[in-house]
Amino acid sequence: MRARSALRHFLDGWRVQKRVIHALMIRELHTRFGRDNIGFLWIMVEPLLFAGAVGALWTVVKGPQSHGMGIVAFVASGYIPLTFMRHSFSKAANVFVANGSLLYHRQIKITDFIFVRILIEAIGSMMAYVFLMLALYNFGLFPIPANPAMLIAGWSIYVLFVLSFCMIIAPLSEMSEVVEKFLPVSTYIAIPLSGTFNMASWLTPEARSYLLWSPLVSGMEMMRYGLFGSVVTPYYDVSRSVGISLVFLLIGLSLSRHVRRILVVQ
């Protein structure tokens, strides 16, 4: 009996959660992109421009191939996840204050804000990735993914880590203003830890062993392996990456709980 009422309780909660996430997604798309011209397709534009421009630049500087991979494909496959990460981190800071008016509705929880923002960023990045893949493939600049499952698994690990880290940034930015000030520069310095511009196999074994503590590197290695196949030698550690992300998620959730108690809503 108790089990059944617990189940019903859970299902009710689940329904509310689905409704809230759905409503928040639409609201976020409206407020950020409006309804004019291409609307929420704007979300794809920045990663596309970045990946395209840097890819072109690298082709000029380093030639069309690097370690057996097409340089445009290499840059594009790194830059799209990177812009996802940087956007997500900067959007996570002060997310609670920016959305304070939503807290007037009790069914909306502060962690929903973070989840929705990351979800939108992730969907936009995936669309940009697919779009770029199709466009570049037509010019012979992008391979057909050798192992799509591996590509998706790597992306999932990447997204999971970014989400868990944002869950920490958001409440911390509320507790101390220093976080917001240091965020852009720390994200910039962290670029080598994201595996964007190099494969782990190009490094010394010692440097590699340190870098593999970053779930972003594991995720990126898996994505590149899924994309280019046996041309690359990937290094990754799934259980460590997931473990680190879950620990971060746990810390983030308890920080959020604390911050919710002291949050001042206008």
Partner 1 sequence: MIICKDIHKKYRSGHLTKTVLRGVNFTINPTDRVGLLGRNGAGKSTLIKMIGGVEMPTSGAVTRSMTCSWPLGFHGAFQGSLTGYDNARFIARIYDKPYQEMREFVEEFTELGPQLRMPVKTYSSGMRARLAFSLSLAIDFDCYLIDEVIMVGDRNFQNKCRVEFFEKRKDRAIVLASHSAETIKKYCNRAIILHEGVATPYDDVGKAIKLYSKL
Contact residues for partner 1 (CB under 8 A)? Answer: 19-20, 22-23, 26-27, 30-31, 100-108, 260-266
Name the minimum Å distance from CB 22 to partner 1: 7
Measured CA to CA, the distance from residue 214 to residue 162 in angstroms comes to 11
Which C-beta is closer to partner 1: that of 2 or that of 106?
A: 106
Name the minimum Å distance from CB 94 to partner 1: 16
Which C-beta is closer to partner 1: that of 20 or that of 222?
A: 20
Which C-beta is closer to partner 1: that of 109 or that of 208?
A: 109
Which C-beta is closer to partner 1: that of 83 or that of 256?
A: 256
Measured CA to CA, the distance from residue 132 to residue 76 in angstroms comes to 8
Name the minimum Å distance from CB 181 to partner 1: 17
* Residue 211: its H or E element: helix 205-211
Measured CA to CA, the distance from residue 118 to residue 161 in angstroms comes to 11
Measured CA to CA, the distance from residue 163 to residue 170 in angstroms comes to 11
Measured CA to CA, the distance from residue 111 to residue 170 in angstroms comes to 9
Measured CA to CA, the distance from residue 66 to residue 72 in angstroms comes to 10
Which C-beta is closer to partner 1: that of 8 or that of 22?
A: 22
Token pair for 265: 């809503």
Name the minimum Å distance from CB 9 to partner 1: 15
Measured CA to CA, the distance from residue 76 to residue 143 in angstroms comes to 12
| The pairing of beta strand 69-70 with beta strand 65-66 | antiparallel
Instruction: Tell me if 259 sits within 8 A of 175, measured CB to CB.
Output: yes
Name the minimum Å distance from CB 253 to partner 1: 16
Which C-beta is closer to partner 1: that of 26 or that of 178?
A: 26
- 8 by Cβ neighbours in 10 Å (0-12 / 13-18 / 19+) ranks as exposed
Name the minimum Å distance from CB 108 to partner 1: 7
